[in-house]
Structure 1
């Protein structure tokens, strides 16, 4: 069954189609929520809340305006940032960096001292810059997809990425490790 067919069935109330539709997006949803909240149980709650909101409002989804992936991640980000603000989960990433282990979704991005430093530096960015960095580099959304998720123009996303990269570069250039990679093509060498 295609995503479009699953969507039509899900909008008609088919629970199986809804579950099937979302199973493709759950791994990235958990990663996004965890990257922002840094606490597994709270990230699970955020994803569950996003799923409930998505299910309750799926009949209002219009595929001509955005893709389902974009629409779902928009709901997820709204819920996640609201939880972060309400619960004040803005402590350092210590738990993430100390407790990560292979096999856990969040470990995908945590490999080595450079990655730890990178995450600590990303954590210093504003909410807007953190969001675009996480979506663009770690979840590999396109600029247009991020613009749809955040309901801003593509130019705004490009601008936020530009300023976020600049802030990251300034911080990472003073890194004792010398070179940090955010993504292929974005490496800063201290020397």
Structure 2
């Protein structure tokens, strides 16, 4: 029996620590993805919390979950998108994305700095996309969902996902090729 199945079985038997062991390694990533989709750390916390509650209930109700990591990533992305839809209906898009970074233990300090700067520029570019393009990029590249899974999450056709992803790549390429005003001023 693999570790995920063992933790789910222990959880069903009343071991609350087993649920924590199951989800804890996934929390940083799903939070980062939710924050990127929602552009709000507070809403990201809500999305993750909603997903945690739903995951716990699913386990306790005996739902057959073959790959918990993949299922939980998908579930959290869905909850973030639910909040994004609610938010877009209720108010303009305001909020802030706190810097979210996962340290690279293997990199030298200069490599880490260069990677951080490049990653920050890319993240800024991704975050500047409209919600449709931003969402497909985040789900595809950060959550590593397949095109079919993204189509299911967003409830649109796979061709629409391909089109949005292509358009998002073009927009990102255009943004990344433009000179950075900060760098131009420093010269």
If the length of structure 2 is used for normalisation, what is the TM-score? 0.66
Residue 119 to residue 154, structure 1, CA distance change in 2 (3 Å): same
- Relative contact order (C-alpha < 8 Å, sep 6+): which is higher? 2
Does the residue aligned with 1:61 lie in a helix, a strand or coil? coil
Q: Which residue of 2 aligns with 1:107?
A: 101
Q: How far apart in 1 are the matches of 2:149 and 2:7? A: 23
| Structure with the bigger percentage of helix | 2
Which residue of the partner structure matches residue 136 of structure 2? 132
Which protein shows a greater Rg? 2
| Contact map agreement 1:70 1:149 (CA 8 A) in 2 | no
Higher strand share: 1
| Cα deviation, residue 16, structure 1 | 2.3
Q: Which runs of 5+ in 2 are unaligned?
A: 104-114, 182-187
SS in 1 for 2:179: coil
5 Å matches for 1:170-185?
Answer: 170-173=174-177, 175-177=178-180
| 2:43 counterpart residue number | 42
Deviates further, 2-11 or 142-151: 142-151
2:23 alignment partner in structure 1: 22
In the other structure, the counterpart of 1:76 is 76
Counterpart-to-counterpart distance in 2, 1:78 and 1:143: 14
